[in-house]
Each structure stands twice: as C-alpha cells, then as structure tokens.
Copies of this chain bind each other. A is one copy, B any other.
Amino acid sequence: MSEYVSKSTLQRLPFYLDALQTKLARGEKYASSSQLAKELNLNEVQVRKDLASASRSGGKPKVGYEIQELISDIKLFLGCHRIDKAVLVGVGSLGTALLGYKGFKDYGLEIIKAFDKNESIIGNKIKGIEISELSSIKDTIKENNVRIGIITVPAQYAQEVADTLIDAGVKAIWNFAPTRITVPEEILIQNENMASSLAVLSKHLQNKIENEK
C-alpha cells in the first residue's frame, strides 16, 4: 500500500465499496477490475491503481479480486471501524438533510448533537439527534472529545462558528457554508462547494453539445 493516496482516490473508494457491497449482496464472490471499471465509468488502470492503494491483496488473473477481502481492506483503510464524533451547527434545510443521512455511520462518523440559535427548535430531535443551544457547544465538544465540526450555517456566520469549534478543540472542519473560512494550519478543513460539482457536470454537458454540432 502506498503511503500517499490522492484525494481523488480517496473520493472514489466509497464508490468501489458501494459497488462491491452490491455484488456481495447478489451472492458474487469475485470482481474483476474490468467489471468495476465499466460499472463505475473509470478506466481499468485507474481501478487497479486505486484498489492497490487500499489493499495488498491484488486481483488474481482471470478471477479478479476476492470481494469480501477487498471490502474489509477498503473499510480498514478508510477507518470505517474507528468512530469519529462530530457536532453539526446550523439546523436549516441542509443541516436537516445531513442529520438524516444514513450513510455517515458506515464511514465511522457519529453526529452526537446539533446546534442552532433558533430557540423554537431547541430541544427537538431529528433522527434521534438532539438540537441544543449554541451556548453549550464548547462543553459538549470538550466532554465528548468531539473531533469533527460540521458547519451548515449561512455564509456570514461560518467563520465565527469555525472559530468557536476550533477553540473548543475540534481537529477538523467540514464546511458546507458557501464561503471560504480560514483555519490555523494544524486544523483540517474540507470545504464543500456545490458549484464545484455543477461546474464538472455543466462543462461536460457543454462539450457534449458542441461535439454533436
């Protein structure tokens, strides 16, 4: 396994996992890199390279990868068995959508509490996760050794929330607010930008239309 794994590879691993689990559920035992490449719309060399970064067990000639083994390797590599505790700040529509997302637990993320400043929703639960007052966020983070802060507040509050989270001890920020936030060097930050995905889709659509002319 290589020491350095690119972000693109990391982003693709959940898709392999998803495809492999579907195969396993159908009773299949082996998957070839060519099958996976076709299903996931990637090239075969890429598939072999990606899988080699997460698993030592290479595919066998003619049979391919042993699915069960490959799933375990990818999960171990991604740290799915290790639970990272997170808090979410900003229970608007996006925050609510994230609280309801079932897939996080499979990847070892547990959102233990949500926070908002809207008093009318304090005390409510969404999918079993309680919404609390912002004023209690530091205690929650410290007492529970929370490592990840998820930000789903409007853009103008994002930096302030990030500062609070970092001050309370989180090590990583997952920012969904449509603005860039600044964090100290030792803090991990992942900015989600819907426009990024849209840019890819839109450009590919444009190329396609131009090629058809």
Which residues does A use to contact B, with CB under 8 Å? 5, 7-8, 10-15, 18-19, 22, 39, 41, 77-79, 82, 84, 92-94, 96-98, 100-104, 106-109, 147-148, 171-172, 174, 178, 180, 188-206, 208-209
Chain A binding surface SS class: helix
> Complex Cα distance A94/B98, Å?
8
Contact of A205 among B97, B147, B193 (CB under 8 A): B147
Q: Tell me whether A148 and B205 are in contact in the complex, defined as CB-CB below 8 angstroms, given that A196-B11, A196-B14 are known contacts.
A: yes
In angstroms, how far is the closest chain B Cβ from the Cβ of A140?
19
Chain B residue with minimal CB distance to A7? B200
In angstroms, how far is the closest chain B Cβ from the Cβ of A181?
12
CB-CB under 8 A from A205, the residues of chain B are 84, 147-148, 171-172, 188
Task: List 8 additional A-B contacts (Cβ < 8 Å) besides A11-B196, A98-B194, A192-B197.
Answer: A5-B203, A10-B199, A11-B200, A14-B195, A79-B206, A101-B194, A109-B202, A188-B204
B102 contacts A194, C-beta separation under 8 Å: no
A190 contacts B200, C-beta separation under 8 Å: yes
CB-CB under 8 A from A174, the residues of chain B are 197-198, 201
